Amino acid sequence: MELILKKEKLKEFLEQLSKNYEIIAPVKEGELINFKSVKDFTKVVMTYQKSIKSPKEFLFPQCEELYKYKFSGKDVEIKPAEVEKKPKAIVGIHPCDAVAIKILDKLFGWDYKDELYFERRNNTLLISITCNTPDWSCFCTSVEGTPYDADGTDIHFTDTGETYYIEGKSEKGKQILQDNNNLFTEAKKEDKDKVEKIKKEIMEQVPVKFDIKKVTENMDCIFDSKLWDRISVKCIHCGACAYLCPTCHCFDINDEGNYEEGKRIRCWDACMFGHFTKMAGGHNPREDEKTRYRQRIFHKFNYYIKNFDTISCVGCGRCIAECPAGMDLVKTLQLIEKGAEHE
Protein backbone atom coordinates (compact mmCIF):
# COMPACT_ATOMS: atom_id res chain seq x y z
CA MET A 1 0.00 0.00 0.00
CA GLU A 2 1.76 3.16 -1.24
CA LEU A 3 0.18 6.57 -0.94
CA ILE A 4 1.03 10.24 -1.30
CA LEU A 5 0.34 12.89 1.32
CA LYS A 6 0.74 16.54 0.47
CA LYS A 7 2.95 18.20 3.06
CA GLU A 8 0.31 20.74 4.03
CA LYS A 9 -1.98 17.84 4.91
CA LEU A 10 0.36 16.39 7.53
CA LYS A 11 -1.25 18.48 10.24
CA GLU A 12 -4.67 17.14 9.33
CA PHE A 13 -3.40 13.57 9.35
CA LEU A 14 -1.89 14.04 12.80
CA GLU A 15 -5.12 15.62 14.04
CA GLN A 16 -7.05 12.58 12.87
CA LEU A 17 -4.51 10.30 14.48
CA SER A 18 -4.62 12.25 17.74
CA LYS A 19 -8.23 11.22 18.26
CA ASN A 20 -6.96 7.80 19.28
CA TYR A 21 -3.31 8.40 20.04
CA GLU A 22 -1.13 10.72 22.05
CA ILE A 23 1.25 12.11 19.43
CA ILE A 24 4.96 11.93 20.20
CA ALA A 25 6.99 13.73 17.55
CA PRO A 26 10.24 15.60 16.98
CA VAL A 27 10.08 19.30 17.84
CA LYS A 28 12.68 22.02 18.14
CA GLU A 29 13.82 23.04 21.63
CA GLY A 30 16.33 25.84 21.18
CA GLU A 31 18.98 24.32 18.94
CA LEU A 32 18.01 20.75 19.82
CA ILE A 33 15.57 18.37 18.20
CA ASN A 34 13.75 16.32 20.78
CA PHE A 35 10.80 13.92 20.80
CA LYS A 36 7.94 15.40 22.82
CA SER A 37 4.28 14.86 23.37
CA VAL A 38 2.76 17.43 20.98
CA LYS A 39 -0.62 19.07 20.67
CA ASP A 40 0.30 21.86 18.23
CA PHE A 41 1.07 19.87 15.10
CA THR A 42 2.49 22.85 13.24
CA LYS A 43 5.52 22.44 15.52
CA VAL A 44 6.33 18.93 14.29
CA VAL A 45 9.65 18.74 12.41
CA MET A 46 9.51 15.63 10.24
CA THR A 47 12.79 16.21 8.39
CA TYR A 48 15.55 16.63 10.91
CA GLN A 49 19.13 15.71 11.57
CA LYS A 50 19.23 13.28 14.49
CA SER A 51 17.24 14.00 17.65
CA ILE A 52 19.43 14.59 20.68
CA LYS A 53 17.77 11.80 22.67
CA SER A 54 16.29 8.74 21.05
CA PRO A 55 12.58 8.20 21.60
CA LYS A 56 13.27 5.08 23.71
CA GLU A 57 12.15 7.00 26.81
CA PHE A 58 8.53 6.69 25.71
CA LEU A 59 8.75 2.92 26.12
CA PHE A 60 11.39 2.80 28.80
CA PRO A 61 11.23 6.08 30.76
CA GLN A 62 14.36 7.41 32.42
CA CYS A 63 12.67 6.93 35.79
CA GLU A 64 9.57 4.97 36.45
CA GLU A 65 7.68 3.81 39.45
CA LEU A 66 7.40 0.05 39.92
CA TYR A 67 5.11 0.20 42.94
CA LYS A 68 4.16 2.23 45.97
CA TYR A 69 4.58 0.84 49.48
CA LYS A 70 3.10 1.79 52.79
CA PHE A 71 3.84 0.33 56.22
CA SER A 72 1.18 0.01 58.84
CA GLY A 73 2.43 -1.78 61.90
CA LYS A 74 3.95 -5.02 60.71
CA ASP A 75 2.00 -5.03 57.48
CA VAL A 76 3.05 -3.54 54.24
CA GLU A 77 0.67 -2.52 51.55
CA ILE A 78 1.90 -2.68 47.97
CA LYS A 79 0.29 -0.88 45.08
CA PRO A 80 1.69 -1.79 41.67
CA ALA A 81 2.29 1.02 39.22
CA GLU A 82 -0.06 1.52 36.34
CA VAL A 83 0.94 2.46 32.85
CA GLU A 84 -0.80 5.31 31.05
CA LYS A 85 -3.69 3.81 29.11
CA LYS A 86 -3.91 6.13 26.09
CA PRO A 87 -2.09 4.65 23.12
CA LYS A 88 0.88 6.60 21.82
CA ALA A 89 2.01 7.18 18.28
CA ILE A 90 5.70 7.92 17.85
CA VAL A 91 5.79 9.90 14.64
CA GLY A 92 8.90 10.69 12.60
CA ILE A 93 11.18 8.09 14.12
CA HIS A 94 14.32 7.43 12.08
CA PRO A 95 15.03 3.86 10.95
CA CYS A 96 17.97 3.47 13.34
CA ASP A 97 15.84 4.35 16.34
CA ALA A 98 13.07 2.05 15.14
CA VAL A 99 15.44 -0.89 14.80
CA ALA A 100 16.68 -0.07 18.29
CA ILE A 101 13.22 -0.76 19.68
CA LYS A 102 13.35 -4.27 18.23
CA ILE A 103 16.65 -4.72 20.01
CA LEU A 104 15.13 -3.54 23.29
CA ASP A 105 12.18 -5.93 22.83
CA LYS A 106 14.57 -8.86 23.06
CA LEU A 107 16.02 -7.79 26.36
CA PHE A 108 12.74 -6.84 27.99
CA GLY A 109 11.13 -10.04 26.74
CA TRP A 110 13.96 -12.32 27.83
CA ASP A 111 13.84 -14.55 30.92
CA TYR A 112 11.46 -12.16 32.60
CA LYS A 113 8.85 -10.47 30.48
CA ASP A 114 8.84 -6.85 31.56
CA GLU A 115 5.18 -5.99 31.91
CA LEU A 116 5.55 -2.23 32.14
CA TYR A 117 7.67 -2.14 29.02
CA PHE A 118 5.35 -4.35 26.98
CA GLU A 119 2.20 -2.62 28.12
CA ARG A 120 3.61 0.54 26.59
CA ARG A 121 5.15 -1.24 23.64
CA ASN A 122 1.95 -2.97 22.59
CA ASN A 123 0.13 0.29 22.95
CA THR A 124 2.49 2.28 20.74
CA LEU A 125 2.21 2.93 17.04
CA LEU A 126 5.44 3.61 15.17
CA ILE A 127 5.49 5.93 12.18
CA SER A 128 8.96 6.08 10.73
CA ILE A 129 10.56 8.37 8.17
CA THR A 130 13.49 7.87 5.84
CA CYS A 131 16.46 9.72 7.24
CA ASN A 132 17.61 11.94 4.40
CA THR A 133 19.88 14.09 6.54
CA PRO A 134 22.55 11.73 7.90
CA ASP A 135 25.59 13.41 9.41
CA TRP A 136 29.27 12.61 9.83
CA SER A 137 28.70 10.42 12.88
CA CYS A 138 26.06 8.13 11.33
CA PHE A 139 27.08 4.57 10.48
CA CYS A 140 23.85 2.55 10.24
CA THR A 141 25.06 1.03 6.97
CA SER A 142 28.04 -0.49 8.79
CA VAL A 143 25.81 -2.33 11.25
CA GLU A 144 23.49 -3.92 8.73
CA GLY A 145 20.99 -1.07 8.68
CA THR A 146 20.01 1.53 6.12
CA PRO A 147 18.69 5.08 6.45
CA TYR A 148 15.38 4.05 4.86
CA ASP A 149 14.53 0.57 6.00
CA ALA A 150 12.57 0.85 9.22
CA ASP A 151 11.82 -2.77 9.87
CA GLY A 152 9.05 -3.32 12.40
CA THR A 153 7.22 0.00 12.16
CA ASP A 154 3.56 0.45 11.25
CA ILE A 155 3.72 3.21 8.67
CA HIS A 156 6.73 4.59 6.82
CA PHE A 157 7.18 8.07 5.34
CA THR A 158 9.67 9.34 2.80
CA ASP A 159 10.10 13.07 2.28
CA THR A 160 10.21 13.60 -1.48
CA GLY A 161 10.30 17.38 -1.44
CA GLU A 162 6.70 18.56 -1.88
CA THR A 163 5.03 15.42 -0.63
CA TYR A 164 5.41 12.42 1.64
CA TYR A 165 5.50 8.99 0.08
CA ILE A 166 3.75 6.71 2.51
CA GLU A 167 3.91 2.95 2.95
CA GLY A 168 1.58 0.95 5.16
CA LYS A 169 3.75 -1.69 6.83
CA SER A 170 1.74 -3.50 9.48
CA GLU A 171 -1.93 -4.44 9.42
CA LYS A 172 -2.59 -1.77 12.03
CA GLY A 173 -0.77 0.82 9.93
CA LYS A 174 -2.59 -0.14 6.74
CA GLN A 175 -5.92 0.15 8.54
CA ILE A 176 -5.10 3.66 9.74
CA LEU A 177 -4.21 4.73 6.20
CA GLN A 178 -7.44 3.15 4.94
CA ASP A 179 -9.48 5.01 7.55
CA ASN A 180 -8.01 8.33 6.43
CA ASN A 181 -7.93 7.66 2.72
CA ASN A 182 -9.54 11.00 1.94
CA LEU A 183 -6.20 12.64 2.83
CA PHE A 184 -4.07 10.63 0.43
CA THR A 185 -3.74 10.00 -3.25
CA GLU A 186 -2.51 6.78 -4.80
CA ALA A 187 1.25 6.72 -5.48
CA LYS A 188 2.29 6.46 -9.12
CA LYS A 189 5.24 4.82 -10.77
CA GLU A 190 7.09 8.17 -10.92
CA ASP A 191 6.73 8.52 -7.18
CA LYS A 192 8.15 5.10 -6.60
CA ASP A 193 11.08 5.84 -8.91
CA LYS A 194 11.73 9.07 -7.07
CA VAL A 195 11.88 7.23 -3.75
CA GLU A 196 14.30 4.68 -5.19
CA LYS A 197 16.51 7.53 -6.37
CA ILE A 198 16.41 9.16 -2.93
CA LYS A 199 17.39 5.88 -1.30
CA LYS A 200 20.36 5.52 -3.58
CA GLU A 201 21.50 9.06 -2.89
CA ILE A 202 21.35 8.75 0.87
CA MET A 203 23.14 5.43 0.86
CA GLU A 204 26.08 7.24 -0.72
CA GLN A 205 26.09 9.68 2.18
CA VAL A 206 26.55 6.91 4.73
CA PRO A 207 29.50 4.89 3.45
CA VAL A 208 30.31 1.59 5.16
CA LYS A 209 33.05 2.20 7.74
CA PHE A 210 34.02 -1.33 8.74
CA ASP A 211 33.12 -4.96 8.22
CA ILE A 212 30.90 -5.80 11.15
CA LYS A 213 31.37 -9.58 10.63
CA LYS A 214 35.10 -9.19 11.03
CA VAL A 215 34.61 -6.99 14.09
CA THR A 216 32.34 -9.42 15.89
CA GLU A 217 34.59 -12.36 14.95
CA ASN A 218 37.58 -10.58 16.45
CA MET A 219 35.81 -9.65 19.67
CA ASP A 220 36.34 -13.05 21.25
CA CYS A 221 40.11 -12.82 21.18
CA ILE A 222 40.51 -9.18 22.05
CA PHE A 223 39.40 -9.09 25.67
CA ASP A 224 42.92 -8.94 27.08
CA SER A 225 44.35 -6.73 24.38
CA LYS A 226 46.40 -3.66 25.30
CA LEU A 227 44.14 -1.74 22.96
CA TRP A 228 41.71 -1.03 25.77
CA ASP A 229 44.31 0.78 27.87
CA ARG A 230 45.10 3.01 24.95
CA ILE A 231 41.67 3.97 23.75
CA SER A 232 40.00 4.37 27.10
CA VAL A 233 42.34 7.01 28.56
CA LYS A 234 40.30 9.84 27.05
CA CYS A 235 36.99 8.61 28.50
CA ILE A 236 35.76 10.78 31.37
CA HIS A 237 33.24 8.17 32.53
CA CYS A 238 30.07 10.23 32.27
CA GLY A 239 26.80 8.75 31.10
CA ALA A 240 26.14 10.88 28.04
CA CYS A 241 26.73 8.01 25.59
CA ALA A 242 24.50 5.55 27.41
CA TYR A 243 21.69 7.99 28.12
CA LEU A 244 21.51 9.19 24.54
CA CYS A 245 21.90 5.71 23.06
CA PRO A 246 18.69 4.17 21.68
CA THR A 247 19.69 0.63 22.67
CA CYS A 248 21.31 1.09 26.09
CA HIS A 249 18.93 -0.23 28.69
CA CYS A 250 20.74 -0.73 31.99
CA PHE A 251 18.82 0.44 35.03
CA ASP A 252 19.12 0.65 38.76
CA ILE A 253 16.37 0.06 41.30
CA ASN A 254 15.96 2.38 44.27
CA ASP A 255 13.49 3.38 46.91
CA GLU A 256 12.38 6.94 47.39
CA GLY A 257 10.34 7.72 50.46
CA ASN A 258 10.46 7.70 54.22
CA TYR A 259 9.95 5.15 57.01
CA GLU A 260 6.21 5.09 56.48
CA GLU A 261 5.71 5.08 52.78
CA GLY A 262 7.42 5.52 49.48
CA LYS A 263 7.89 4.16 46.05
CA ARG A 264 10.23 1.75 44.40
CA ILE A 265 11.58 3.18 41.19
CA ARG A 266 13.86 2.16 38.41
CA CYS A 267 16.05 4.69 36.68
CA TRP A 268 18.48 4.48 33.81
CA ASP A 269 22.02 3.74 34.86
CA ALA A 270 25.20 3.66 32.83
CA CYS A 271 28.08 1.20 32.79
CA MET A 272 30.51 4.07 32.33
CA PHE A 273 29.76 5.45 35.78
CA GLY A 274 32.33 4.39 38.37
CA HIS A 275 29.68 3.43 40.91
CA PHE A 276 27.74 1.26 38.44
CA THR A 277 29.37 -1.95 39.62
CA LYS A 278 30.23 -0.86 43.13
CA MET A 279 29.22 -3.59 45.57
CA ALA A 280 27.76 -3.12 49.02
CA GLY A 281 31.06 -4.04 50.65
CA GLY A 282 32.94 -1.44 48.62
CA HIS A 283 34.53 -3.77 46.08
CA ASN A 284 34.33 -2.62 42.49
CA PRO A 285 35.08 -5.20 39.79
CA ARG A 286 35.24 -2.50 37.12
CA GLU A 287 37.33 0.14 38.76
CA ASP A 288 38.87 1.96 35.86
CA GLU A 289 37.95 3.49 32.50
CA LYS A 290 39.51 0.57 30.69
CA THR A 291 37.30 -2.14 32.15
CA ARG A 292 34.21 0.01 31.92
CA TYR A 293 34.74 1.05 28.31
CA ARG A 294 35.55 -2.53 27.36
CA GLN A 295 32.32 -3.64 29.00
CA ARG A 296 30.29 -1.19 26.93
CA ILE A 297 31.82 -2.47 23.70
CA PHE A 298 31.59 -6.13 24.70
CA HIS A 299 27.99 -5.82 25.80
CA LYS A 300 27.02 -4.35 22.46
CA PHE A 301 29.17 -6.35 20.08
CA ASN A 302 29.64 -9.67 21.83
CA TYR A 303 27.41 -10.55 24.79
CA TYR A 304 24.27 -9.29 23.11
CA ILE A 305 24.93 -11.50 20.09
CA LYS A 306 25.42 -14.50 22.37
CA ASN A 307 22.16 -13.81 24.17
CA PHE A 308 19.96 -12.47 21.41
CA ASP A 309 21.64 -13.14 18.10
CA THR A 310 22.03 -9.47 17.24
CA ILE A 311 24.44 -6.68 18.07
CA SER A 312 22.99 -3.89 20.14
CA CYS A 313 24.09 -0.88 18.19
CA VAL A 314 22.19 0.69 15.31
CA GLY A 315 24.85 3.16 14.22
CA CYS A 316 22.92 6.29 15.13
CA GLY A 317 26.20 7.98 16.05
CA ARG A 318 24.86 9.83 19.08
CA CYS A 319 27.54 8.49 21.40
CA ILE A 320 30.16 9.78 18.97
CA ALA A 321 28.63 13.14 18.19
CA GLU A 322 27.90 13.99 21.80
CA CYS A 323 30.91 12.58 23.64
CA PRO A 324 32.53 15.60 25.27
CA ALA A 325 35.89 13.81 25.35
CA GLY A 326 35.84 12.80 21.68
CA MET A 327 35.58 9.02 22.16
CA ASP A 328 34.79 7.56 18.76
CA LEU A 329 33.04 4.21 18.55
CA VAL A 330 33.70 3.92 14.82
CA LYS A 331 37.44 4.27 15.40
CA THR A 332 37.30 1.67 18.15
CA LEU A 333 35.47 -0.78 15.90
CA GLN A 334 37.93 -0.12 13.09
CA LEU A 335 40.76 -1.01 15.45
CA ILE A 336 38.99 -4.19 16.48
CA GLU A 337 38.40 -5.01 12.83
CA LYS A 338 42.16 -4.92 12.31
CA GLY A 339 42.63 -7.34 15.18
CA ALA A 340 44.63 -7.33 18.39
CA GLU A 341 47.98 -7.60 16.65
CA HIS A 342 47.63 -4.01 15.40
CA GLU A 343 47.14 -2.54 18.83
Partner 1 sequence: MEDIINIARELIKRDDIEAIIGYEKGRAPFQTVPFFARTPEDCDKLIMNSLCVNNLVSYINQFSGKVAIFVKPCDAKALVGLLQEHQIEREKLHIIGINCQGALNPKKLRNAIKGRMVKDWSINGDKIKVYYESGEEEFNIKDFLLDKCPACDTRTPPIYDELLGDEIKTADLPELLARVKELEKLPAAEKQQYWNEHFERCLRCYACVKICPLCYCERCFVENASPQWIDKSNNLKSNKAFHLIRAYHLAGRCIDCGECDRACPMDIPLRELNLKMRKSVEEHFNYVPGKDIDVPPPLSTFKKEDPQDFIR
What is the binding site for partner 1 (CB under 8 A)? 29-32, 49, 52-53, 62-63, 133, 135-137, 205, 233-234, 236-240, 242-244, 252, 254, 256, 265, 267, 270, 273-275, 320-322, 324-326, 328, 330-331
Q: Which of 316, 333, 335, 336 contacts ligand SF4 by CB under 6 A?
A: 316
DSSP 34: E
* Interface size with ligand SF4, residues (CB under 6 A): 13
329-338 vs 289-298: helix crossing angle, rounded to 10: 80
Contacts of 175 (CB under 8 A, 6+ apart): none
Q: Which of 247, 295, 302, 332 contacts ligand SF4 by CB under 6 A?
A: 247
134 binds ligand SF4 (CB under 6 A): no
Q: Give least dist CB 297 to ligand SF4, A.
A: 9
Q: Which of 41, 125, 128, 40 is nearest to 87 (CA)?
A: 125
Q: Give least dist CB 302 to partner 1, A.
A: 24
* Alpha carbons 121 and 144: distance in angstroms, whole number: 24
315 binds ligand SF4 (CB under 6 A): yes
One-letter amino acid of 59: L
302 binds ligand SF4 (CB under 6 A): no
Contacts 24+ apart (CB under 8 A), 252-259: 253/66, 255/69, 257/69, 259/71
Name the one range near ligand SF4 by CB under 6 A: 3-11, 38-46, 205-213, 312-320.
312-320
335 binds ligand SF4 (CB under 6 A): no
201 binds, among ligand SF4, partner 1, none (CB under 5 to 8 A by kind): none
Complex with partner 1: residue 114 or 289, whichever CB lies closer: 289
* Alpha carbons 315 and 129: distance in angstroms, whole number: 16
- Name the burial class of residue 324, with classes exposed (0-12), middle (13-18) and buried (19+) by CB atoms within 10 angstroms of its CB: exposed
> Is 54 in contact with 128 (CB distance < 8 Å)?
no
Name the one range near ligand SF4 by CB under 6 A: 34-42, 212-220, 284-292, 311-319.
311-319
Complex with partner 1: residue 152 or 262, whichever CB lies closer: 262
* Alpha carbons 221 and 331: distance in angstroms, whole number: 18
144 binds, among ligand SF4, partner 1, none (CB under 5 to 8 A by kind): none
145 binds ligand SF4 (CB under 6 A): no
Residue 300 neighbours by CB distance under 10 Å: 22
CA distances from 247 to 59, 116, 130, 131, 316 (A): 12, 17, 19, 18, 10
As beta bridge partners, residue 32 has 29
328 binds, among partner 1, ligand SF4, none (CB under 5 to 8 A by kind): partner 1
Binding site for ligand SF4 (CB under 6 A): 244-247, 300, 313-319, 329
